[in-house]
A = this chain, B = another copy of it.
Amino acid sequence: MADCLTMAAGIDDVARAAGVSTATVSRALRDLPNVSAKTRERVRAVATELGYVASPSAASLASGRTRAIGLISPWVNRWFFANIIDGAERALRARGYDVLLYTFDIQRSGERPRIDPDVLRRRVDGILVVGLPLARDELEALQGLGYPLVCIGWGGSEEATVRLDDRVIGLEAVRYLIRLGHRVIGHVTGTPDDVHPWSPPADRATGWREAMTEAGLEPDAGLMESGGFEVSGGRASVKALLARHPDLTAVFAASDEMAMGAILGLRDLGLRVPEDVSVMGVDGHELGELVGLTTMSQPVDEQGWAAAELVLDMINGKTPPRRVVFPARLVERTSTAAPRGVAS
């Protein structure tokens, strides 16, 4: 075996050893046409023998393609994001693409450093933006790079998008609570106010509002509070909600993590779930079962995978569907029940 440290075989080492030109080596190894079967075989054998691997930098420079995808996510340590990243990375690697990870904080204040598109310039062939509702100018700057871009978990009709029907999720969740007999239903949303009309928290809130309205209930602004998609935020939100609406009997949180935070907050207050207040979330978090969390469960691996396929198709000039919408399904557990005094 060759000493990997001292000598890294180059394409012309292979060419020389195989008795062909570097062009033929390049073609043979990339499965391009116009190489005879036996030549290809010989080149492959020699390349393996020499431990030759093409330099990605040189290949990129010459071809203009990087075989890398930029994955932009506000966090990696939150349930949804971690699972999407995991799924997308596996899908992309299976297709021979590298994944460049870029995290960008969402500040709760709404003020966040603008994403700098320059870090991605000439580094990637495509971009995946996970759950980060970008400002219009940011999105445009990113698109200005000229790479295929797909949004996961958010996005309007203009962008290639993989997401849920968040309005319907809110609608179905709150309809379920109403069926149980609840009348005063609070909503813990994800972000403060400056969110886009097509962001998941905004859509879930719309669903909540519609379900309330269609049942003749009042989706009072005081019944909504932002938990910033964090456990601690959910915990604080439910207290604020209850302070304003002591008659609250149910809470619909826009994520399981916030829902679990809400349960912690209710406990802080000495209230029981579901006897005093019912709580439900959205996600299908693995640990929801710990507290019997009722939730709208979403297929997360599939979304990561679908988004990966989508960018790659776009890179390869295909025109795949611009919008893939996955379904969520109600998982009933024990954090929700009929309010006191209502027979179920």
Chain A residues within CB distance 8 Å of chain B:
4-5, 8, 53, 55-58, 60-61, 66, 68, 71, 75-79, 82-83, 85-86, 89-90, 93, 98-103, 118-119, 121-123, 144-146, 231, 257, 260, 263-264, 286-287, 289-291
Task: Give Cα distance in the complex from A118 to B78, angstroms.
Answer: 31
Contact between chains at B5 and A146 (CB < 8 Å): yes
- A83: chain B residues at CB < 8 Å are 77
- A8: chain B residues at CB < 8 Å are 121-122
| A76-B76, A76-B85, A263-B290 known, 15 other contacts, Cβ within 8 Å | A5-B144, A53-B122, A57-B60, A57-B61, A61-B61, A76-B82, A77-B79, A82-B82, A86-B103, A98-B119, A98-B123, A99-B100, A100-B100, A231-B286, A290-B290
- A98: chain B residues at CB < 8 Å are 100, 119, 123
Q: B56, B79, B86: which contacts A123 (Cβ < 8 A)? A: B56
Q: B57, B61, B101: which contacts A85 (Cβ < 8 A)? A: B101
A sample of 8 cross-chain residue pairs with beta-carbon separation below 8 angstroms, ordered by A number, consists of A71-B101, A76-B89, A89-B103, A90-B103, A100-B100, A231-B286, A264-B290, A287-B287
- A57: chain B residues at CB < 8 Å are 56-58, 60-61, 66, 122
- A263: chain B residues at CB < 8 Å are 290
- A56: chain B residues at CB < 8 Å are 57, 122-123
Task: Give Cα distance in the complex from A231 to B285, angstroms.
Answer: 12
Q: B77, B89, B257, B286: which contacts A101 (Cβ < 8 A)? A: B89
Among residues of B, the one whose C-beta sits closest to the C-beta of A235 is: B289
- A119: chain B residues at CB < 8 Å are 93, 98
CB distance from A83 to the nearest CB of B (A): 5
The 4 A-B residue pairs whose C-beta atoms are closest, nearest first, are: A57-B60, A77-B82, A4-B144, A57-B61
Q: B66, B76, B286: which contacts A86 (Cβ < 8 A)? A: B76
Task: Give Cα distance in the complex from A240 to B58, angstroms.
Answer: 55
Task: Give Cα distance in the complex from A118 to B257, angstroms.
Answer: 39
Contact between chains at A93 and B82 (CB < 8 Å): no
- A260: chain B residues at CB < 8 Å are 287, 290
Contact between chains at A61 and B53 (CB < 8 Å): no
CB distance from A173 to the nearest CB of B (A): 21
- A287: chain B residues at CB < 8 Å are 231, 257, 260, 287, 290
CB distance from A61 to the nearest CB of B (A): 4
CB distance from A250 to the nearest CB of B (A): 19
Among residues of B, the one whose C-beta sits closest to the C-beta of A105 is: B90
- A79: chain B residues at CB < 8 Å are 77
Task: Give Cα distance in the complex from A56 to B123, angstroms.
Answer: 6
Task: Give Cα distance in the complex from A301 to B286, angstroms.
Answer: 23
Task: Give Cα distance in the complex from A75 to B8, angstroms.
Answer: 30
Contact between chains at A4 and B76 (CB < 8 Å): no
Task: Give Cα distance in the complex from A57 to B144, angstroms.
Answer: 20
Task: Give Cα distance in the complex from A31 to B287, angstroms.
Answer: 49
Max count, chain B CB within 10 A of own CB: residue among A93, A119, A287, A291: A287
